[in-house]
Amino acid sequence: MSLVFYLCVCVTALSAITAHADIYRYIDASGAWHLTNEPKGVRYKKWIESKEGFSFSSQPAIEAPQNVDSHAYDETFLMAGKVHNISPYLLKAIAAQESAFNPQALSSQGAQGLMQLMPATAKHLRVKDPMDPVEAIFGAAKHMRDLLDALGDDLNLAVAAYNCGIKPVKSAMRIPAIEETQTYVKRVLQFYDRFKSQAQESAH
């Protein structure tokens, strides 16, 4: 199945990702990006080579539940990270902590999907279906990019803001004294370090 993305500031339309596919791009006169894994015509140029620059390990995630494929979305993490200049391992770490890679996860507070986007956040990011893992990952990548930009590229603060919102973080420019948020940051960074280390080991 072909995939085509139309991007201006954020992803507005998505179709299914085909695993292990090179991605081709052209930018039209309006500035919209057109991405596809099945280029038609010379206007498309190769933009992302499958798994270019990254190697996801086959080892299981930390405390990932059984019968969950923690690698099902690796290609999507890669592509979303490329679009928004975010490490795919960070996106994967957030998914591991937020939903344990369950695209149908729903929290008691109303957060939805693989990346646990709140309805207002999803609307702001133009994510039409937070339960769609591709839309969720691209939306979360855009969200993390915005948080990093707003917080001086401080990874710890951006991860904290993903959990508790940017206002309490930006007001003090430190991780709030909220036990849940402090634990959340530690857990996400543990996943992040683990995924990076596993990738480095599998690359050798």
pLDDT in tens, the chain (204 residues): 334 444 433 333 333 333 345 566 667 776 665 666 667 777 877 765 544 444 343 333 334 444 567 889 999 999 999 999 999 999 999 999 999 999 999 998 899 999 999 999 999 999 999 999 999 999 999 999 999 999 999 999 999 999 999 999 999 899 999 999 999 999 999 999 999 998 888 776
Instruction: Tell me what pLDDT residue 199 has.
Output: 83
Long-range contacts of 9-13 (CB under 8 A, 24+ apart): 10/125, 10/126, 10/138, 10/139, 10/142, 11/83, 11/126, 11/135, 11/138, 11/139, 11/142, 12/126
3-state SS assignment for residue 11: strand
Instruction: Tell me what pLDDT residue 42 has.
Output: 78
Torsion angles phi and psi, residue 194, rounded to 5? -65, -45
Instruction: Tell me what pLDDT residue 6 has.
Output: 40
Instruction: Tell me what pLDDT residue 41 has.
Output: 78
Using alpha carbons only, give the angle 153, 7, 75 rounded to the nearest 5 degrees.
70
For the chain, domains (ranges, CATH) are 54-203 (1.10.530.10)
Catalytic residues: 98
Q: CB of 23 within 8 A of CB of 37? A: yes
Instruction: Tell me what pLDDT residue 27 has.
Output: 72
Q: Exposed e or buried b for every residue in 161-189, given b needs 16+ CB within 10 A?
A: bbbbebebbeeeeebbeeeebeebbebbb
Instruction: Tell me what pLDDT residue 70 has.
Output: 80
Instruction: Tell me what pLDDT residue 51 has.
Output: 43
